[in-house]
Structure 1
């Protein structure tokens, strides 16, 4: 599926390895990717992955889809414990579902791709698949090992779980969260 990753090369020079840019991680095969700001600004990655929509959960902007509200959902929130993403979860989910129906490839990103964007992806998985926070967390963790929403976002994801399932199911006091 990703022919551009193929290479005949077996030995890499140190400067080549330093120049290597990791691609966003795949959350839903060929449909949803989770990444960071530098990946969101990389023209080659956009072309290779055929990205057609952005969910930007950061204060920064990118050169892509600027002024095109149909392809860009930009939620400007700071990376802090007090940032409130819960009011935007429903909008994020509807935006992503619409683009999945249109067969668009979506990149969800934040500045570092660790906290805010991971929370947005988990909220979508909980909504789209009817999953618990625990299952969504496990799925995203399997795809992106260094993801870790801050405690404020974890609490908001638990509230989102209650909205979706009618009750709290996941115990966020578990050290995993």
Structure 2
């Protein structure tokens, strides 16, 4: 700072003179004298060169303030982080913290696991537990409906054998909650609002993303209204890999049209008709028999979960 001593000031742009002690030289520099609070202390610190201890009494009022919305949210997530939450008899929702904890799984008698986030979470106990692995992203444009009936089959088989199922994703908020909400909507014949409320009461952080919510509402409308006499429409589904990360897992994906122009001789398709029938079409150039098998499986699922008859 000593090198600044030769700086000249002028009335248009006054510059402070710098004293050797490092403090401003009063009002002659153009700056007002510092305002001193509480006998030379500001915010619990001395205005001199030596700091003093914090005034904890002054901070007490801040501690007593109510938690912010963000703090409440964080505490909720921390509370449920390792919870394996029982939603109904035999069906649980959780996150990675529960899925990786063998003691927690054993305490709840878990025998089957649906892993909704295989991108980052492995099947920790494949030797002892039965897994269904899904590659679902927690984004609004992810089609969750094309895996629902496989999940329903998995859950029903586990429960019929006296097992218990944990459905988990990363935090037990969106993907896993959506699968369980959909299952209960089908099983209990209830609407989305009531079923979501039931799950939310058990697991306070359950909150499907907006895309999943819209899909469940549309799926339930199709399942309950369009199967009524005169309420159906023709729908065409193409058997295809669900994800590039697991190309051997085939699902039925809906197409926007249902004419013959949408058929491909190399694939398998399922036609869901307005009259309540399901037909499987396998192209003459289809090589892999798994495509035909999955088409027939989906037609069966339409009969079970949407009340369609066979073709």
- TM-score normalised to the size of structure 2? 0.44
8 Å CA contact 2:96–2:168 kept in 1: the answer is yes
* 8 A Cα contact 1:57 1:117, kept in partner: yes
Distance, in Å, in 2 between the alignment partners of 1:90 and 1:41 is: 26
How far 1:135 sits from its partner (Å)? Answer: 1.6
Match of 2:86 among 18, 26, 31: 26
Partner of 1:144: 203
Deviations 1:78-108 (A, max 9, x none): 1212111111111111111111111101101
| CA distance in 2 between partners of 1:75 and 1:55 (Å) | 7
Contact 2:113 2:131 in 1 (8 A): yes
Number of residue-to-residue matches in the alignment: 146
Is 1:52 aligned to residue 52 of structure 2?
A: no
Aligned residue runs from structure 1 range 92-171, under 5 A: 92-166=151-225
The alignment yields a C-alpha RMSD, in angstroms, of: 2.1
**TM-score, normalised on structure 1?**
0.76
Counterpart secondary structure, 2:181: helix
Structure 1 runs (4+) greater than 3 angstroms displaced: none
Q: Which of the two has higher C-alpha Rg?
A: 2
Q: Comparing both structures, which one devotes a greater share of its residues to helix? A: 1
Displacement, 1:53?
0.1
Instruction: Identify which of structures 1 and 2 has the higher relative contact order when contacts are C-alpha pairs closer than 8 Å and 6+ apart.
Output: 1
Q: Where does residue 237 of structure 2 map in the other structure?
A: none
**1:51 alignment partner, SS class:** coil
Contact 1:66–1:72, Cα closer than 8 Å, also in 2: no
Alpha-carbon distance in 2 for matches of 1:134, 1:21: 25
Query: How much does 1:163 deviate?
Result: 3.1
The separation in 2 between residues aligned to 1:41 and 1:22, in whole angstroms, is 9
Q: Which runs of 5+ in 2 are unaligned?
A: 1-77, 227-311
